[in-house]
Amino acid sequence: MFIDTHTHLYTEEFDNDRAEAVKRAVDAGAKALLLPNIDEASINPMLRMCKDYAGLCFPMIGLHPTELPEHYEDTLARMEAMLQSNHPFIAIGEVGIDLYWDDSRREDQIAAFRRQIVWSIEHELPLVIHSRKAQREIIDTLQPFRHDLQGGIFHCFGGTAEEARELLEFEGFYLGIGGVVTFKKSTLPEVLKQCVPLSRIVVETDSPYLAPTPYRGKRNESCYVPLIIDRLAEVYDMPKEQIERQTMANTKEIFKKLQNNLAD
């Protein structure tokens, strides 16, 4: 059994076989599929999927750092208005800072991230954080809120041991581990062995991206999570059932709303 803590199953890449992809995930052992938001246009497709698969799919709300429109403050205001009583969102995500391809809007990305951190605190929701070539900016933006943060996930972690240690200094935060851990030349297994306890990781796919070996380069799916778990069992030298139990427990610890809302 597993929970895919990060999958974009609502996107167009799954329009032709979404129901089949969900069935494959459930057949593989998925207990829940957590859907991070990307931009304003993705909210309705995401919510529609969560309605169609109530008890299995759970939505987040957030503006991805590479998707900032020109007037991003207006977009954020409309998103924030959705965080009223009885909202369905289990987290603020996918948010963060990405300076890999373009750093021209660095300050806008930081400002947007800071605003969404405040949402997380005010609404007592965890943060699901995207960071790419932005470790220093992420740390510096989170730091002033350190004692009020609601925990969360540093999504798609693939950094160094030093970076892992720095991120795990934030109490209540976990590293999201996906297909990269299965790549032949990945340094992630050694980093995990060196300084990341099993009690501080969760599993994810980021589907349709970053499919694990042997599907690397193809569309990723939630049904591939067992391949990630198998590799983690090798890394931590533990039975895969122990990896499943611990990562499930870690996920429920982060997402408090899941504890009473998972399907039987």
Closest CA to 191 of 231, 164, 167, 169: 164
The answer to whether 8 touches 38, Cβ cutoff 8 Å, is yes
The answer to whether 204 touches 32, Cβ cutoff 8 Å, is no
Residues present in the chain in total: 264
- Report d(CA 149, CA 163) in Å as an integer: 19
Q: Look up the pTM and report it.
A: 0.97
- Report d(CA 25, CA 5) in Å as an integer: 13
Closest CA to 91 of 178, 150, 31: 150
Cα-based angle 147, 148, 154 (whole degrees, multiple of 5) = 90
Q: Which domains does the chain have, with CATH numbers?
A: 2-260 (3.20.20.140)
Q: Quick one: tokens of 133?
A: 């070539």
Place of tokens 């957590």: 34
Burial class of residue 162 in the structure, from the number of CB atoms within 10 Å of its CB (0-12 exposed, 13-18 middle, 19+ buried) = exposed
The answer to whether 211 touches 184, Cβ cutoff 8 Å, is no
- Report d(CA 59, CA 48) in Å as an integer: 10
Burial class of residue 80 in the structure, from the number of CB atoms within 10 Å of its CB (0-12 exposed, 13-18 middle, 19+ buried) = middle
Count of Cβ atoms closer than 10 Å to residue 237 Cβ: 7
Residues 6+ apart with CB under 8 A from 49: 9, 10, 18, 35, 57
Beta strands 57-59; 173-177: pairing state: unpaired
Return per-residue pLDDT of the chain as tens, 264 residues: 999 999 999 999 999 999 999 999 999 999 999 999 999 999 999 999 999 999 999 999 999 999 999 999 999 999 999 998 899 999 999 999 999 999 999 999 999 999 999 999 999 999 999 999 999 999 999 999 999 999 999 999 999 999 999 999 999 999 999 999 999 999 999 999 999 999 999 999 999 999 999 999 999 999 999 999 999 999 999 999 999 999 999 999 999 998 777 754
